[in-house]
């Protein structure tokens, strides 16, 4: 089937000409993108590819079918239309919808090149290099020309083949049911060590017994015996020694990458291990896209608007373009639009760095009059946004660059559920709260942080996970379902320590029944 | 063109079928399916099937939005989709529902599986077929009146492009006789309706809206099941109070009369209809009668029994009587029927207390396999 995919790459010549022109303009503007292949698809093919998240071949799974059904329905009812789809691959593939107007196609091509530049240059995407980013940890340094191996189309197709083979052997229903369980745990990966922390090889020195050193509080010599009394130090030493002697747990330290832990330690059949590996690999592939949604869309929108209005759109295009652009940037129903938020942030950063509105002098200035006219004519805005697109993810982007003024201009607010009125309401427009809300939404991809703590809990081979509770409870019914999935994979009872309505609670599933009891880690 | 996604979609539909089956009883008693009925399919609202994950409890988490409004104002609207199709902005509060299309055939299957309905025995009556010509194909020869212009010009264009005589600057396409394509037909045999359902309903003052709703829901499911069993199915409708008349489906479910009830009037009309239009050696005949069980007089009830015995029962597959409980009805008619005709295997009676009783009553009616 994949051959038929490559055959479709023939773009009509008028679009090919546009593509060349747009790529030239983009290069002149400083964008640096992978070679990009545009394909023209009919709407049903577009819906298919979109249901497969942009890839021509994935493993068989019903949820792709569900997504396809949803996309087809909303398209047929005229509720939505996918304009643009691009995947992080080298070379990059992007899809154009057959029947869109020429203006729309130009707009999409400009937008896509912004995305591809982002894929290539943002450091978070290094984790999708199939050579593991050559261990690159310095986001500013890389070998030029930069041609990372990102053959994800092939990879996904191979993963599909792996799963299909297991289905042929073990039955589709069985494998699919298992995949459902794996997908329930998909978000239990470690966003900071994508895709896998290389374990330092074990050396003999690691086994050297270390002298237990008791930390002392800093004190002047004459105060020493009062601040660090001998008997307290002795007690502390005893405690530390006891901890050193205590039986070790597996994992030694709590581990974020639960999927990896399961791969290493769960009693899996070979096909089960293989499927879980597929799910984990793909989860890591999509991770940077989740981490940079606002930036990525903002960056692409920034560039489509610049390129279209300055170089690409002609007089016949411009109204149509403005209409489409307004549709993309619209904020309705109180929803936050990542396109809008992202593009405004990038423009704001460019403006601030052009005018020198940053640093201590700016921060310390309280005079509204002076702030309003502040312009040091530094002209460093363009360079700054290119640096930002390389070094930040949504979390740090919002944290560092969302200013009070911008939040006010964008009319941001926090939303909360009012139990009294049984509806969602605007909670507050206070800047600190808005920012906190945004950051929480972006931390860990909006998922709770869950670690695997012990694989021999209660000395009964049970798995213990811990939810790092930061004020918001887990959705308990779903947590129970996830425990069920974990138990399927671990084949022993599984527990998660969390907090439910203020009480430390241990949720447990033993393979038959769900349980909950008070428990403190 | 077949797409790779087709098999995933098929899997999804299988799962949906399972869900529909799980909730079938709910759908039946709430009657929500029928409002969404198309020609061959019904749309069934299902809660979106989601993969459970470790997630925050929505209502505690809140979110960030954008737009006009003061604190305390409601935030409206459903969660929509961004351009990229992967939008995840704002709150994820609203429950998503999924509308899935299920064909009536499939629905009947599900109903059959869930209620364990037996297939209807073959009565050995010859199915009547008729033939019909349909224009389904294309031929190279034919009369000019059947010339297919689009195909003809397409052939001509193909030929000209292939032979290099087509000039894009001057796109003139001239068909030659070889390019001509004609519509062609096939003769198909079509089954003619060979089963008929005669619905009768009491529309006297004592039958309220709720009672009629129950009849409506129940007849929908009976229709669906019998349609599955017979290639062609006709339905006729008779309403009655003190006198009976034949009406169309729409009128049947929406008429409200007042006045007394003479059930025999309906049975007489029904018997007449069968004798005039549905000879029993060609038709499988099903008679359903719904009422609240209140009849004018004992005399009339006796003439009903008489009518059934002599003119109706001998020719039908089944006579079904459904008694819908209403606050005004005495419910006496059911007892009388049971007393006089209870032994006849063609007579099926059922009492429907409320909407939740519909499922059991469908099972009563269709569980016999007649």
Instruction: Kindly report, residue by residue over A397-442, the tens digit of the pLDDT.
Output: 999 999 999 999 999 999 888 888 878 888 889 999 999 989 988 8
Tell me, yes or no, whether B111 and B140 share the same domain.
no
Shared domain for A464 and A386, answered yes or no, is no
Helix (H, G, I), strand (E, B) or coil at A508: strand
- The pLDDT tens digits of the residues spanning B76-130 come to 643 333 333 333 333 333 446 677 778 878 888 888 888 777 777 656 455 556 6
- Summarised one tens digit per residue, pLDDT across range A189-210 is 988 765 554 555 666 776 766 6
Residues A502 and A420 in one domain: no
Count of residues in chain B? 370
Beta-strand relationship, A494-500 and A462-467? parallel
Domain that holds residue A482: 448-518
Residues of A whose CB is below 8 A from B18: none
Boundary residue ending a domain (A383, A415, A443): A443
Whether residue A419 sits in one domain with residue A356: yes
Cβ of A413 within 8 Å of Cβ of B66? The answer is yes
Q: Do A62 and B7 touch (CB under 8 A)?
A: no
Q: Residues B183, B275: one domain?
A: no
Residue B334 lies in a domain: yes
Q: What CATH number has the domain bearing residue B294? A: 3.40.50.410
Expressed as residue numbers, the domain containing B29 is 1-49+97-116
Share of chain A above pLDDT 70, in %: 93
Return the residue in B19, B48, B50, B52 with the most chain A beta carbons within 10 A, the one to mutate for interface testing: B52
Q: Find the CB nearest A68 among B8, B60, B99.
A: B8
Domain co-membership, B102 together with B240: no
Residues A423 and A338 in one domain: yes
pLDDT at position A97 over 80:
yes
Specify the pTM.
0.76
Q: Which helix (H) or strand (E) holds A231?
A: helix A230-245
Residue B221 maps to a domain? yes
Q: Examine residue B35 and state whether it is found in any structural domain, yes or no.
A: yes
Which of B14, B74, B90 minimises the CB distance to A335? B90
3-state secondary structure at position B167: coil
Q: Per the CB < 8 Å rule, is B75 touching A424? A: yes
- Using CB atoms, pick whichever of B53, B70, B77 lies closest to residue A482: B53
Chain B residues whose beta carbon lies within 8 Å of the beta carbon of residue A323: none
| Residues B269, B313 share a domain | yes
* Same-domain status, A437 and A478: no
Asked if residue B177 is part of any domain, the answer here is yes
B90 touches chain A (CB under 8 A): yes
For A272-320, what is each residue's pLDDT tens digit? 999 999 999 999 999 999 999 999 999 999 999 999 999 999 899 999 9
- B137, B185 contact by CB (below 8 A): yes
B53 touches chain A (CB under 8 A): yes
Looking at CA atoms only, how far is residue B72 from chain A in angstroms? Answer: 5
Q: What is the DSSP letter of A34?
A: -
- Strands (DSSP E) along A59-195, which ranges? 84-87, 92-97
Nearest CA in chain B to A327: B83
Q: Which of A216, A220, A214 is nearest to A242 (CA)?
A: A214
Q: Is residue A490 part of a domain?
A: yes
* For helices A43-51 and B5-22, angle between their N-to-C axes, nearest 10 degrees: 70
In a domain, A194, yes or no: no
Q: Does the residue A317 lie in any domain?
A: no
Domain stops at, among B145, B160, B189: B189
Q: How many domains are contained in chain A?
A: 2
Q: Give the distance, in angstroms, between the CA of residue A378 and the centroid of all CA atoms in the same chain.
A: 34
Q: Which of B189, B208, B236 is the last residue of a domain?
A: B189
Say yes or no: A385 and A432 in one domain: yes
- The answer to whether the beta carbons of residues A189 and A287 sit under 8 Å apart is yes
Sheet holding A412-418, edge to edge: A423-428, A412-418, B63-66
Alpha helix positions (H), A308-367: 318-329, 338-355, 359-364
From A443, A470, A488, give the residue that closes a domain: A443
The whole-angstrom separation of Cα B30 and Cα A481 is: 29
* A-B Cβ pairs (cutoff 8 Å, strict): 232
Strands A36-41 and A92-97: parallel
- Is A98 within 8 Å of B45 (Cβ atoms)? no
B269 and B320 share a domain? yes
Q: Determine, yes or no, domain membership for B82.
A: no
Residues B348, B200 share a domain: yes
Record: contact A338-B89, CB cut-off 8 A: yes
Q: Which residues pair with B56 in a beta bridge?
A: A474
Contact B64 A437 (CB under 8 A): yes
A433 in the same domain as A353? yes
Decide: A91 and B39 in contact? Cβ < 8 Å: no
Choose one of B189, B211, B226: the last residue of a domain.
B189
Domain annotation covers residue B3: yes
Among A381, A412, A443, residue at a domain's last position: A443
B295 located within any domain: yes
Number of structural domains chain B divides into = 3
User: Around Cβ B87, how many Cβ atoms within 10 Å?
Assistant: 18
B242 and B301 inside one domain: yes
My answer on whether B304 and B200 are in the same domain is yes
Residues in B touching A412 (Cβ below 8 Å): 64-66
Indicate if A340 and A413 belong to the same structural domain: yes
Cβ partners under 8 Å of residue A7, min gap 6? none
Q: Which of B65, B68, B79, B91 to mutate to test the interface with A (most CBs of A within 10 A)?
A: B65
The separation between the first and the last C-alpha atoms of chain B, rounded to the nearest angstrom, is: 43
A353 Cα to chain B: minimum distance (Å): 26
Between CA A148 and CA B65 the distance in angstroms is 37
Shortest Cα distance from B117 to chain A (angstroms)?
Answer: 27
Q: Are the C-beta atoms of B298 and B307 separated by less than 8 Å?
A: no
pLDDT tens string A361-378: 888 888 888 888 888 888
The C-alpha atoms of residue B320 and residue A371 are separated, in whole angstroms, by 86
Same domain, B137 and B272: no
In a domain, A419, yes or no: yes
Judgement on whether residues B312 and B181 belong to the same structural domain of the protein: no
What 8-state DSSP symbol labels residue B124?
Answer: -
Examine the domain organization and report whether B112 and B259 are in the same domain. Answer: no
Are residues B3 and B107 part of one domain?
A: yes
Q: Are A302 and A343 in contact (CB under 8 A)?
A: yes
Q: Do B75 and A428 touch (CB under 8 A)?
A: no
What distance in Å separates residue A361's CA from the closest CA in chain B? 31
Which helix H or strand E contains B323, and what residues bound it?
strand B318-324
Mean pLDDT by 10 residues, chain B (370 residues): 82 85 79 65 76 85 82 63 32 55 81 79 57 84 90 92 87 89 83 78 81 85 82 84 86 76 89 87 86 84 88 87 81 85 85 86 80
Q: Are residues A372 and A459 in the same domain?
A: no
The closest CB to that of B15, out of A62, A73, A440, belongs to A62
A79-84, Cβ contacts within 8 angstroms, sequence gap of 24 or more: A80/B80, A80/B81, A80/B85, A81/A43, A82/A46, A82/A47, A82/A50, A82/B83, A82/B84, A82/B85, A83/A107, A83/A108, A83/A324, A83/B83, A84/A108, A84/A111, A84/A112, A84/B83, A84/B84
pLDDT category of residue A237 using cuts at 50, 70 and 90: confident
B353 occurs within a structural domain: yes
Residue A4 pLDDT greater than 80, yes or no: no
């Amino acid at each position: 089937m994949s051959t038929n995919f490559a055959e479709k790459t023939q773009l009509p010549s008028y679009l090919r000409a546009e593509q060349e022109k747009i790529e030239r303009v983009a290069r002149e503007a400083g964008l640096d993108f992978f070679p990009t292949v545009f394909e023209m698809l009919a709407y049903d093919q577009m819906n298919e590819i979109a249901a497969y998240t942009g890839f021509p071949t994935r493993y068989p799974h019903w949820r792709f079918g569900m997504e396809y059904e949803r996309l087809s329905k909303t398209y047929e009812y005229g509720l939505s239309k996918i304009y643009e789809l691009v995947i992080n691959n080298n070379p990059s593939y992007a899809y154009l919808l057959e029947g869109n107007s020429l203006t729309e196609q130009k707009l999409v091509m400009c937008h896509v090149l912004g995305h591809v530049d982002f894929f290539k240059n943002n450091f978070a995407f290094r984790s999708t290099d199939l050579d593991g980013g050559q261990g690159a940890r310095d986001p500013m340094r890389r070998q030029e020309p930069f041609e990372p191996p990102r053959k994800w189309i092939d990879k996904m197709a191979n993963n599909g083949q792996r799963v299909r083979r297991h289905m042929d052997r073990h039955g589709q229903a069985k494998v699919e049911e298992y995949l459902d369980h794996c997908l329930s745990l998909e978000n239990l990966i470690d966003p900071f060590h994508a895709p896998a922390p290389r374990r330092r090889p074990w050396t003999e020195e690691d086994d050297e017994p270390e002298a237990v050193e008791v930390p002392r509080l800093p004190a002047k010599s004459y105060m020493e015996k009062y601040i660090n009394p001998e008997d307290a130090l002795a007690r502390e030493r005893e405690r530390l020694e006891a901890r050193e002697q205590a039986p070790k747990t597996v994992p030694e330290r709590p581990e974020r990458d639960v999927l990896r832990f399961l791969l290493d330690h769960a009693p899996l059949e070979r096909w089960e291990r293989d499927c879980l590996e597929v799910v984990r690999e793909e989860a890591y592939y999509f991770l940077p896209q989740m981490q940079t949604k606002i930036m990525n869309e903002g960056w692409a929108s920034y560039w489509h608007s610049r390129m279209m209005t300055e170089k690409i759109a002609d007089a016949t295009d411009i109204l149509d373009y403005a209409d489409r652009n307004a549709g993309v940037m619209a904020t309705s129903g109180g929803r936050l639009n990542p396109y809008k938020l992202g593009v405004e942030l990038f423009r704001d950063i460019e403006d601030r760095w052009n005018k020198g509105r940053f640093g201590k002098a700016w921060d310390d200035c309280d005079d509204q009059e002076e702030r309003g006219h502040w312009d040091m004519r530094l002209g460093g805005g363009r360079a700054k946004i290119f640096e930002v697109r390389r070094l930040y993810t949504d979390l740090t982007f919002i944290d560092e660059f969302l200013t009070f003024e911008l939040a006010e201009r964008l009319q941001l607010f926090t939303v909360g559920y009012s139990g009294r009125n049984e509806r969602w309401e605007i909670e507050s427009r206070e800047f600190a709260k808005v920012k906190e809300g945004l950051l929480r939404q972006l931390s860990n991809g909006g998922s709770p942080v869950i670690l695997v703590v012990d694989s021999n809990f209660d000395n009964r081979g049970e798995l213990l996970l811990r939810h790092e509770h930061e004020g918001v409870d887990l959705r308990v019914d779903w947590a129970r379902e996830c425990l069920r999935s974990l138990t399927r994979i671990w084949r022993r009872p599984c527990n998660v320590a969390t907090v439910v309505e203020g009480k430390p609670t241990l949720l447990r599933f033993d393979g038959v029944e769900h349980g909950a009891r008070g428990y403190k880690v | 063109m077949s797409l790779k996604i087709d098999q995933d979609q098929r899997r999804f539909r299988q799962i949906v079928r399972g869900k529909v089956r799980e909730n079938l009883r709910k759908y039946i008693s709430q009657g929500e399916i029928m409002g969404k009925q198309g020609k061959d399919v019904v749309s069934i609202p299902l809660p979106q099937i989601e993969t459970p994950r470790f997630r925050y409890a929505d209502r505690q988490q809140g979110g960030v939005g954008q737009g006009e409004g003061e604190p305390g104002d409601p935030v409206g609207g459903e969660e929509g989709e961004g351009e990229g199709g992967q939008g995840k902005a704002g709150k994820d509060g609203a429950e998503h529902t999924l509308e899935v299309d299920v064909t009536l055939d499939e629905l009947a299957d599900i109903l059959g599986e869930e209620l364990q309905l037996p297939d209807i025995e073959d009565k050995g009556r010859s199915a009547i077929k008729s033939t019909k010509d349909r224009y389904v194909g294309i031929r190279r020869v034919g009369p000019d009146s059947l010339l297919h212009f689009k195909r003809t010009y397409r052939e001509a264009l193909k030929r000209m492009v292939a032979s290099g005589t087509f000039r894009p600057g001057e796109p003139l396409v001239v068909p030659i006789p070889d390019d001509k394509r004609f519509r062609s037909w096939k003769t198909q045999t079509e089954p003619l309706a060979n089963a008929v359902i005669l619905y009768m309903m009491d529309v006297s003052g004592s039958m309220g809206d709720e009672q009629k709703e129950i009849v409506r829901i129940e007849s929908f499911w009976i229709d669906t099941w019998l349609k599955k069993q017979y290639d062609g199915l006709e339905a006729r409708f008779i309403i009655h109070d003190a006198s009976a008349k034949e009406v169309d489906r729409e009128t049947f479910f929406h008429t409200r009369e007042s006045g007394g009830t003479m059930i025999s009037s309906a049975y007489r009309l029904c018997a007449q209809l069968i004798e005039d239009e549905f000879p029993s050696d060609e038709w499988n005949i099903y008679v359903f009668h719904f009422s609240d069980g209140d009849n004018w007089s004992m005399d009339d009830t006796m003439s009903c029994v008489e009518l059934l015995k002599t003119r109706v029962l001998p020719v039908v597959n089944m006579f079904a009587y459904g008694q819908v409980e209403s606050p005004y009805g005495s419910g006496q008619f059911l007892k009388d029927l049971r007393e006089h005709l209870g032994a006849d295997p063609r007579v099926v009676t059922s009492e429907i207390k409320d909407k939740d009783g519909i499922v059991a009553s469908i099972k009563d009616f269709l569980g016999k396999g007649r």
